[in-house]
């Protein structure tokens, strides 16, 4: 079953002349590293769909709707950023959004190996190209899983999430 959801629909999103990139992830929570990738990605494409993958096997800190709301609020004044959710293959959701690209970030060599394998498979079965941006050096230590751990123990995470993002 494909439980696709998209906020901030753009009437021209289906236009093949737009360069649309999917930025998939769990975003639990969305960090300043993610924010950096979106900002930099918008210099390369016309629109980015921040795509929250639903994986029932993953235990998340924030419910899907809360994650979507937090990201939607963060980009409420940026019409080139959409927020969607899906419970299918990423490439299937990319096709639905008319995305020709997948945006990914790489923090380390380990990330590279993982992302390359997925990018090769996605390109082979769908023709959708993946482009990667290297995480800015001052942000390489930030990951959603580390921020979640801090949250679980009641630690202030404001240094790791975008300014203005309300987590509560």
Domain boundaries, the chain: 17-152
pTM: 0.88
Q: Beta strands 47-53 and 81-86: pairing type?
A: parallel
Cα 3 from chain centroid (whole Å):
17
Task: Give CA separation, 90 vs 31, 75, 116, 134, 147, in Å.
Answer: 21, 22, 15, 21, 24
CA nearest neighbour of 85 among 118, 56, 112, 105: 56
Which CATH superfamily includes the segment(s) 17-152?
HUPs (3.40.50.620)
pLDDT tens track, the chain, 168 positions: 345 555 544 444 444 589 999 999 999 999 999 999 999 999 999 999 999 999 888 889 999 999 999 999 999 999 999 999 999 999 999 999 999 999 999 999 989 999 999 999 999 999 999 999 999 999 999 999 999 999 999 999 999 999 988 787
**From 39, 95, 107, 116, active-site residue:** 107
Catalytic-labelled residue, pool 16, 17, 58, 145: 58
Residue bearing tokens 């123990």? 153
- Can 34 be counted among the known catalytic residues? yes
CA distances from 150 to 2, 112, 155 (A): 33, 26, 5
User: Which DSSP state fits 139?
Assistant: G
């Amino acid at each position: 079953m494909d439980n696709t959801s998209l906020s901030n629909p753009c009437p021209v999103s289906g236009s093949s002349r737009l360069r649309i990139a999917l930025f998939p992830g769990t975003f639990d929570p969305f960090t300043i590293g993610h924010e950096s990738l979106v900002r930099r990605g918008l210099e390369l494409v016309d629109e980015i769909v921040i795509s929250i993958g639903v994986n029932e096997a993953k235990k998340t800190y924030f419910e899907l709707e809360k994650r979507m709301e937090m990201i939607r609020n963060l980009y409420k004044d940026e019409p080139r950023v959409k927020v969607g959710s899906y419970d299918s293959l990423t490439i299937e959701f990319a096709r639905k959004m008319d995305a020709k690209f997948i945006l990914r970030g790489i923090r380390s060599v380990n990330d590279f190996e993982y992302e390359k394998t997925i990018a090769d498979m996605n390109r082979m079965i769908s023709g959708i190209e993946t482009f990667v941006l290297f995480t800015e050096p001052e942000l390489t230590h930030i990951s959603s899983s580390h921020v979640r751990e801090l949250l679980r123990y009641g630690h202030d995470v404001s240094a790791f999430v975008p300014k203005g993002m309300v987590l509560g």
